[in-house]
Amino acid sequence: MTFIHQLKKPLSHSIPFAIRSISSSSSRHQKPIVSSSSAGQSTPISSVKAGTPLKGLGIIKGVGDPVAKPDEEYPSWLWSLIEPGMGAGKSDEPLRAIRRELNRENRNKIRNSNFLKGNK
């Protein structure tokens, strides 16, 4: 092992990887999470009443349109999507920074390897 490799600790070992887990439906119904900005409301209110058919949202061929459920039957994370600041492009900044650091680390590894081999 060379002196350069002993001094450098790979960045990939110091950055925790994102771990995704599988969620399963539980027998208990959880209350939706209410943000502090909506202190006037005790529970979120959906725009459609329970039992209303949702036209145009069916994705399975041969099955009718889905029917809206009561607010309590939806998962709690669904109501956090309504809050401002959520959506595409808002939460990917930390991932881009990690990817940039990993690319920089890989580039430096290639440069060190080429230097030790005597290549340009």
The one-digit pLDDT tens for each residue of the chain (120 residues) are 455 555 555 555 555 555 555 665 555 555 545 444 444 445 567 888 999 999 988 888 888 899 999 989 988 888 877 776 655 556 667 888 899 999 999 999 999 999 999 865
**13 falls within a domain:** no
**8 falls within a domain:** no
The CA-atom distances, in angstroms, between 76 and each of 34, 35, 81, 104 are: 9, 11, 10, 39
Q: What is the domain range of residue 109? A: 90-119
Is 0.85 surpassed by the pTM of this model?
A: no
**50 falls within a domain:** no
| pLDDT for residue 38 | 46
**14 falls within a domain:** no
**94 falls within a domain:** yes
**105 falls within a domain:** yes
Overall number of domains in the chain: 1
Tell me if 66 sits within 8 A of 58, measured CB to CB.
yes
**19 falls within a domain:** no
